[in-house]
A = this chain, B = another copy of it.
Amino acid sequence: MVPRYARPAMTAIWEPEARYRIWFEIEAHATEKLGELGVVPESAAKALWDWWATDPKIDVPAIDAIEAVTKHDVIAFLTWVAEQVGDEARFMHQGMTSSDVLDTTLAVQLAKASDLLLEDLDLLLAAIKRRAEEHKYTPTIGRSHGIHAEPVTFGLKLAQAYAEFARCRERLIHARREIATCAISGAVGTFANVSPEVEAHVAERLGLAVEPVSTQVIPRDRHAMYFATLAVIAGSIERLAVEIRHLQRTEVLEAEEYFSPGQKGSSAMPHKRNPILTENLTGQARMIRAYALPALENVALWHERDISHSSVERFIGPDATITLDFALARLTGVVDKLLVYPERMQKNLDRMGGLVHSQRVLLALTQAGVSREDAYRLVQRNAMKVWESDGALSLLDLLKADAEVAAALSAEALEEKFDLEYHFKHVDTIFARVFGS
């Protein structure tokens, strides 16, 4: 976790105190059910909850000190709670194993993290939608291979981003479901010393599903799927970030990250306004992707479990979620305040001398009875002249003057093919698909 790329709400989920609070709740809920089942006195849970009702401070250093001796974190925590609550606390954790607590806690943390990430996505989607509607009909050149192709609108670019992040949202909902399970199944998952009813009770209280079969641990294919999903979301962040970086290039300059008055772009070159936020997001996307790899390697734990996944998750649990939360929020800010330059978009659209309309002419020629191969040749020989003039010549003028073309298409017919609006007749259809009616 890099502090400058971390926001407080997400960070809080991963702090020791937050973790211990979840531990306590799991233990207390379990003790409650154990009491109901007559395995432990009903007074045990009451003692735990009574203490909890006093809103006790979790003394992290004290627990750490115990762990330094026992070298076992859950035992350290239980010992500390017992010191606070007294004799009744000895009934806690009856028949359970550490992983029952640890894995269910991770599930709660990742579910909470997912909720924040879903909120982040909602804000991002809202920002993209607002800007998409604002620029629904702002003409701009569409580019394939970085080369001018045909006109699109800036709103369409954003509609694409919206659809992509809406898919990411769906994926995250699935991923959240993957990891939101509770396992209280004992040392090797047989419920030998703890009834499945305890698991069901704790799961219900924490808003989790029951893990159908665990083996001391919740199976790590779930977590692999979760972090792989975050990696995909990172890819989408990178895509939009790269789009903006391209648009801000000096020669393109169709959009710019917001540039605040006090900001300095360069220690040496005062005129520079650099797309540093989206470049930064590009790097963060690389990190979030990288975190999926060890999660995938964690799946093949040995037999009923080994603990190799644990050190990995101490890194990627916080790092992937905190960084993604930050990245989504940063991207939302970038989209929200993006400086968009429609005049420049139009200027770029015009700079190729009308080449972007070549395909329409090609089609018109075909429909006028010219063979596809001939039509291609006719358009290309004129297009090449325009291309080589760097947009100084006009494709429309050249075509009008080309006898073979003129034989097939009248001047009016040709002019009609250079109408920008023609390209936007289905923008509304696409918007309806993406944003609903």
Complex interface residues of chain A between 66 and 119 (CB less than 8 A to chain B)? 69-72, 74-75, 78-79, 82, 90-91, 93-98
CA of A309 to CA of B285, assembled, Å: 11
Contact B264 A304 (CB under 8 A): no
Contact A276 B380 (CB under 8 A): no
CA of A268 to CA of B303, assembled, Å: 18
Contact A275 B145 (CB under 8 A): yes
Given A5-B314, A281-B311, 8 further pairs, Cβ under 8 A: A142-B304, A150-B269, A239-B299, A251-B351, A273-B387, A279-B307, A280-B307, A283-B310
Which residue of B152, B267, B283, B293 contacts A308 across the interface (Cβ within 8 Å)? B283
Q: Does A306 contact B (CB under 8 A)?
A: yes
- One complex includes copies of this chain to the number of 4
Can you list 9 contacts pairing A with B, beta carbon distance less than 8 Å? A141-B250, A150-B188, A156-B189, A167-B178, A174-B174, A225-B232, A239-B299, A250-B352, A269-B359
Contact A307 B430 (CB under 8 A): no
Q: How far is the CB of A20 from chain B (nearest CB, A)?
A: 15
Chain B residue numbers with a CB within 8 Å of A246 are 146, 302-303
Contact A430 B213 (CB under 8 A): yes
Task: Of the listed stretches A50-58, A123-131, A216-224, name the one at the interface; the rest are far from the partner chain.
Answer: A216-224
Contact B252 A143 (CB under 8 A): no
- Contact count band on A: 35 or more
CA of A79 to CA of B373, assembled, Å: 9
CA of A429 to CA of B366, assembled, Å: 58
Complex interface residues of chain A between 163 and 191 (CB less than 8 A to chain B)? 163-164, 167-168, 171, 174, 178, 186-191
Q: Does A144 contact B (CB under 8 A)?
A: yes
A283 touching B268 in the complex, CB below 8 Å, given contacts A189-B156, A213-B156, A232-B224: no
Complex interface residues of chain A between 213 and 253 (CB less than 8 A to chain B)? 213-216, 219-222, 224-225, 228-229, 231-232, 234-236, 238-239, 241-243, 245-246, 248-253
Q: Does A7 contact B (CB under 8 A)?
A: no
Q: Does A12 contact B (CB under 8 A)?
A: no
A147 touching B272 in the complex, CB below 8 Å, given contacts A142-B187, A245-B306, A359-B187: yes
Q: Name which residue of chain B comes closest to A427, CB basis.
A: B190
Looking at A4, A96, A221, A314, the one whose CB has the most chain B CB atoms below 10 A away is A221
Q: How far is the CB of A396 from chain B (nearest CB, A)?
A: 13
Chain B residue numbers with a CB within 8 Å of A355 are 269, 271
Q: Does A284 contact B (CB under 8 A)?
A: yes
6 closest cross-chain pairs (CB), A and B: A142-B188, A235-B299, A283-B311, A271-B383, A145-B274, A270-B380
Q: Does A290 contact B (CB under 8 A)?
A: yes
Contact A307 B145 (CB under 8 A): yes
Contact A142 B190 (CB under 8 A): yes
Contact B2 A236 (CB under 8 A): no
Q: Does A376 contact B (CB under 8 A)?
A: yes
Contact A272 B149 (CB under 8 A): yes
Q: Does A47 contact B (CB under 8 A)?
A: no
Looking at A220, A285, A427, the one whose CB has the most chain B CB atoms below 10 A away is A285
CA of A245 to CA of B156, assembled, Å: 24
Contact B94 A363 (CB under 8 A): yes
Which residue of B245, B308, B426 contacts A196 across the interface (Cβ within 8 Å)? B426
CA of A436 to CA of B95, assembled, Å: 26
Q: How far is the CB of A160 from chain B (nearest CB, A)?
A: 5
CA of A61 to CA of B222, assembled, Å: 42
Q: How far is the CB of A58 from chain B (nearest CB, A)?
A: 17
Q: Does A43 contact B (CB under 8 A)?
A: no
Which residue of B146, B219, B268 contacts A359 across the interface (Cβ within 8 Å)? B268
Contact B145 A305 (CB under 8 A): yes
Q: Does A159 contact B (CB under 8 A)?
A: yes
Contact A191 B429 (CB under 8 A): yes
Which residue of B1, B71, B215, B260 contacts A160 across the interface (Cβ within 8 Å)? B215
